[in-house]
Structure 1
């Protein structure tokens, strides 16, 4: 049996993440092979290289902005290609590459010209080549197969993104072929539901988790989000020219949904939908007329929905958490309207709140 991974699933995937380690545990427990088409691997490696380059540039810009305020650390940008190649090597220590063939390239171009799924609108030869590699590998086996790709616009069809009927017909046979949009969707298919639920208290008592959320919010501070925070903090839209923002320690608000699974090795893994709140201190530095009118400092608030992976080892009682995917960030109309859990009893009852 095999689990086929598209490039999109591998974007930004840390090989030390709970997501990857859980996938490895499931694959090993069921004797499933992780397989990646060569073109998908090339694309994912290039994406990892570009992310490393972008992160290094962010660090350099931050250091440049701090010049003159204090002694700056020396920063040497890494060789992005070397880092990406190292990631690729580590990835392949637990996965197999499905080699691209000249036949796949030729057929992919033909599918693009003929508008045959996953190609559409005269484009999509890359996706077609990836699909052909997966299809032929699956048909060469007498085993079930699983395909993971978030690109359901091309590989799927409305209304729910199920595998496109054309593609489904191509893998029809005695062995089932299952398409899912994300790694977490494999859990209900390959792992048993069961285990103790995670609590708000456990999440809120994890300093590392809170630091990670705070960093994610800092990274999200673009112009549009800051402008909405300014409006929330000062009660009106202002024509500001300079701001300073500082995200306070976030707090877990509630766990709106979770499912706990038993991995073959005995560990418990859960996928959680969580809500967070975080206050943001805002300082305006311009224009001068605005500052002189008293609009200097205010407080805004963010409400965040975030998906988490959680893992518990029943033998050691060790617990790990990691964020999965992108956060949905909203700005509270008024920071004073934010509801926070009380300090003790309600932490394990996510539906109980008190007004701050």
Structure 2
């Protein structure tokens, strides 16, 4: 019997579907997988080289890819009919987000982007414009997670909605005209929601929104979490929909998130790990076992499935336009260091009086130094 170890992130959406899939896989193949989980904050910052030394399977975020490849701690997937099926089922850029230097380093098992969350019964429907966003924020009925790195993610998204997403492949990340305009919008939003937002990540905001007596009706820039769209997950169900069209690009330009499953180069049984990864990322598994156990699949077969949508208040259908037009963050080897330092810079600037042009210039300088 083959025994593997895996690492994912500690939330029902990240852990429960993998536990269910691993149990089914063990029954079918005899290969067992023991999963550990880390916090959302660790998931975004923990050195993956250390995880690759201890685990066979690792759930990763796509901006880590360049650094991981540079460190040589993952093995790529080989081209096959199964890989082609997973690629054909990509939700937006989820599948190509893990392709780097001509090889596929992870397979999408979870697709996400910043979308809009709202609570039916507290508001007539989702917000539709920037004026409504600021008005609700000033009334204390709107929340926005701005804990690092989420303020940076919202800045990215606002740039995209203003029809000029940051340049993932160039030295100059933010456009000199659009960047300051997006910063001005972010600063106004941060001021309206108050300083506590800088201590809250998406899970904290969604947990607060889902309390029965919460005043929060809307979160206009938040990574979608299908768990909260299910009846009974929390006291109040949260609905999700596409971003409000606050700029000329509408709901396009959201910062892509989600996760992929990767195989460690240090694994004692690389082929066994690859086999499970390909199986769990495939359309038939994603649309059934994975989705039914609280997952937020990364495959189109699940996103289009009527049963999957009915169980989640149309979470997938209602946010698909935003996902399909989401923006892919840089993936070069120095990006994660940039994201960490840029997030700290933004957090400090939101608490001060920095003008947009100055902040964007410093962010561009920082990105230029880390790009390699």
Category of TM-score, reference length = shorter chain: under 0.3
**Structure number having the greater helix percentage:** 2
* Higher RCO (CA < 8 A, seq sep 6+): 2
Which is strand-richer, 1 or 2? Answer: 1
TM score, norm. by length of structure 2: 0.26
Which has the greater radius of gyration? 1
